[in-house]
Amino acid sequence: MRIARFSIDGNVGFGVVEGDELDVIKGHPFAEFERSGQKVPLDKVRLLPPVLPNKVVAIGRNYAEHAAELGNAVPDVPVTFFKPSTSVIGPGDPIGYPSFSQEVHHEAELAVVIGRMCREVPRERAKDVILGYTCANDITARDVQQREAQWARAKGFDGSCPLGPWVETGLDPADIAAGLAVQCTVNGEQRQLGRTSDMVRPVEDLIVHITEAMTLLPGDVILTGTPAGVGPLNVGDEVAVTIEGIGTLTNKVIKRG
């Protein structure tokens, strides 16, 4: 099932995407819900970020080839950092090129959407806390990342976490381990192409690691790392992240006002 968050005529809601229509649901997807039967053409609504996370927990260097392309070794424990809620934008929203950077990169990633409050999750229960998966782009000010020890500004500036276009609930960790294609294009040219089976640490292990330290809330998001091929974005570029079995997230880079 594909669950989208949308806006129409100033009203915000959730709906189930079926073909080119959206079936509005009663309530929200973090509890039992009913379909209203009210169907709206997708081209008549604005798709919003599929969730509004309290926090985005991101994992760095979780693909060996990506770590190597930046001159880094695969770490003994996951590299974990945060992107603030203010970094989140949705499909079609512009990415504002930050004034404090001259080298902004795309990073196509699979995102895990948490469905229930959880902490200290055992590995065998990890599947139970997942609502579904969506596409993400961990936009990074690479020059800032290289000169500042903490990545808060490099990874957390406004608009640096596009998410969407919806949450796909029909996948589970076994599908991710089997290997979904993760692709990034810029102006239609392929830049990244990897598979989720190449992740150093699978989704279950990431959930265990994160929840040892903190409580995850419904709607929180985990970014699982990016495959090799990251590269620069420029004002005017259109960047698209496509993940097999989920869909495509597209955003355009603009000059930050």
pLDDT bucket at 73, cuts 50 / 70 / 90: confident
- Residue 228 CA: distances (Å) to CA of 150, 191, 225, 236: 22, 9, 10, 23
- 159 phi-psi bin (left φ>0, alpha ψ -120 to 50, beta other): left
Q: Is the pLDDT of residue 74 over 90?
A: no
For residues 68 and 91, give the distance between their C-alpha atoms in angstroms, rounded to a whole number: 30
pLDDT tens across 113-172, in order? 999 999 999 999 999 999 999 999 999 999 999 999 999 999 999 999 999 999 999 999
Mean pLDDT across 176-183: 97
Q: Which CATH number fits domain 56-255: 3.40.50.2300, 3.30.930.10, 3.30.70.1350, 3.90.850.10?
A: 3.90.850.10
Boundaries of every domain in the chain: 2-47, 56-255
For residues 232 and 105, give the distance between their C-alpha atoms in angstroms, rounded to a whole number: 4
The three-class DSSP label of residue 134 is strand
Pairwise pLDDT comparison (210 vs 70), residue with the higher score: 210
Nearest to 83 by CA among 163, 142, 152: 152
What pLDDT score was predicted for residue 222? 98
pLDDT tens across 15-60, in order? 999 999 999 999 999 999 999 999 999 999 999 999 999 999 999 9
Nearest to 64 by CA among 224, 223, 173, 227: 227
Q: Of all residues in the chain, what percent carry a pLDDT higher than 70?
A: 100
What pLDDT score was predicted for residue 199? 97
For residues 235 and 208, give the distance between their C-alpha atoms in angstroms, rounded to a whole number: 39
The three-class DSSP label of residue 35 is strand
Number of continuous H segments (helices) and E segments (strands) in the chain: 5, 20
pLDDT bucket at 247, cuts 50 / 70 / 90: very high
Mean pLDDT across 83-106: 98
What pLDDT score was predicted for residue 72? 87
Query: Is this prediction's pTM over 0.85?
Result: yes
The token duo for 59 is 């994992």
CATH number for the domain formed by residue range(s) 2-47: 2.30.30.370
What pLDDT score was predicted for residue 257? 73
The three-class DSSP label of residue 136 is strand
For residues 25 and 32, give the distance between their C-alpha atoms in angstroms, rounded to a whole number: 10
For residues 137 and 105, give the distance between their C-alpha atoms in angstroms, rounded to a whole number: 10
